[in-house]
Amino acid sequence: MKNTNGNMFQKSISKAFQIDNANDLLKIGLLLLLGFFAVALRERVNVPLKIPGHHGFEFMLLFMAGKTLSRQRYAMSISSIGASASAFLPFFHFGNAFMPFTFLLPGIIADLILNKTGKSNYLFAALAGGLAYASIPLFRQFVMTATGIPFVSLLSGLLYPLALHFTFGAIGSLAGVAIFQRFAK
């Protein structure tokens, strides 16, 4: 664009939210689709293990893979937004009004833990993924206490679901980093 003198405007890089090219938008779109795919996988591949938290493996594997491959600072949060938004689609039959919030928590918490500390080894990624996915039963316990809406997985107590959510989230995060870190180089 030209100014009144006919000269080009000087470029400014002082923007609050910098997305300069379509490549960044494509990466964000792929991370959103990754979150949608995690929900679709959770809903359509119904493995009847009957233990709480068993979907944490594929969720955290996909979210950690997105963070590892894209190298975006908030990649897991973006994937969580995609997962949360897909929970509003009518062909996913969750029967739980709090499911979008449940899908939003693990990615945001894992990003906060990983970005705040800056550590990137396998053990720390597994710990961050486990803590992030363990936020789901904590959130459900809060909702159950505040509203009285029962969650089947929490009717026998909080410790068992919390331990299993942590375990599956940690294993999924560890697998995501271990598998996809080789492709990121």
Tell me what percent of the residues of the chain surpass a pLDDT of 90: 46
* Residue with the larger pLDDT of the pair 58 and 8: 58
Domain that holds residue 55: 23-43+50-184
Domain membership of residue 4 (yes or no) is no
Taking only the tens place, the pLDDT of each residue in 63-111 is: 999 998 887 889 999 999 999 998 888 777 666 788 889 999 999 999 9
Domain membership of residue 10 (yes or no) is no
**Is residue 107 within 8 Å of 127, Cβ to Cβ?**
no
How many distinct structural domains can be found in the chain?
1
Task: Taking residues 21-36, report their average pLDDT.
Answer: 88
Domain membership of residue 113 (yes or no) is yes
Q: How many CA atoms lie within 13 A of 118 on its CB side?
A: 0
Domain membership of residue 6 (yes or no) is no
Domain membership of residue 8 (yes or no) is no
Tell me what percent of the residues of the chain surpass a pLDDT of 70: 86
Say whether pLDDT at 141 is over 60: yes
User: How many whole angstroms separate alpha carbon 29 and alpha carbon 32?
Assistant: 5
pTM of the predicted structure, to 2 decimals: 0.82
Domain membership of residue 34 (yes or no) is yes
Task: Taking residues 35-43, report their average pLDDT.
Answer: 89
pLDDT score at 68: 87
User: How many whole angstroms separate alpha carbon 59 and alpha carbon 106?
Assistant: 9
Domain membership of residue 118 (yes or no) is yes
pLDDT score at 96: 78
Domain membership of residue 15 (yes or no) is no
| pLDDT band per the 50, 70, 90 thresholds, residue 117 | confident
